[in-house]
Amino acid sequence: MVAILFDLDGTLTDPKVGITTCIQYAIRQLGNQPPTTDELLWCIGPPLTTSFAKILQTEDRGLIDRAISLYRDRFSTMGLFENVLYPEIPETLAAIRAEGYQTYIATSKPHVYAQRIVEHFGLSELFDGIYGSELDGTRSIKGELIRHILLAENLDAKTTVMIGDRSHDTIAAKQNQVFAIGVTYGYGSAEELSNNGADMIANSPKDILPLIPFKL
């Protein structure tokens, strides 16, 4: 059984507006001046706990949790739809499915939001499962999430591929002995991806299928 795991933010969709605006909202509600949109692009991908700890320069879990709660106040109603599909994504997913590969979402985003986003873009039928973190932060670390998916779906790591745009995607793949394809059309550079374990680099969605090393 060959399975392809897809990151969501920066790989299937461009969530720039929604994520950065919701972070700015949360910081402003806490009484601080938020960074600019461009200064927050690094926040697309990592868990929110990591991002807010760095932005607020704190390890106070209570403050971080408050920031995340404020973020979700806006994200759950508006932010998750301030999002666009990258060009060629539906066609790429359909082509991969047509070849007989199983496909899953593997995102640090809470799965309740990931599910709504996938449904919003009409992609539900192109995935065998949607996996993300829990609202309490469980499995927000990508390595733990991939391990969970492998066990839950009885997948063989040796015939599984992780596709993502940031270093934490490729690092997590290697932690689980999974083949990693890094994509450069998202928010990570080829250098970031290659330096952190990417086996192959795709510069556009249509480049992904030819790079999958496991043939059915």
Active site residues: 7
Assign 70 to helix, strand or coil: helix
C-alpha neighbours within 13 Å on the C-beta side of residue 84: 6
Tokens 């991939």 map to which residue? 146
- First vs last Cα of the chain: how many Å apart? 8
Instruction: Sort strands 129-133 and 102-110 into parallel, antiparallel or unpaired.
Output: parallel
Q: Are 139 and 159 in contact (CB under 8 A)?
A: no
Tokens 């998916």 map to which residue? 149
C-alpha neighbours within 13 Å on the C-beta side of residue 194: 8
How many Cβ atoms from other residues are within 10 Å of residue 129's Cβ? 15
Distance, in Å, from the CA atom of 72 to the CA atom of 45, rounded to the nearest integer, reads: 16
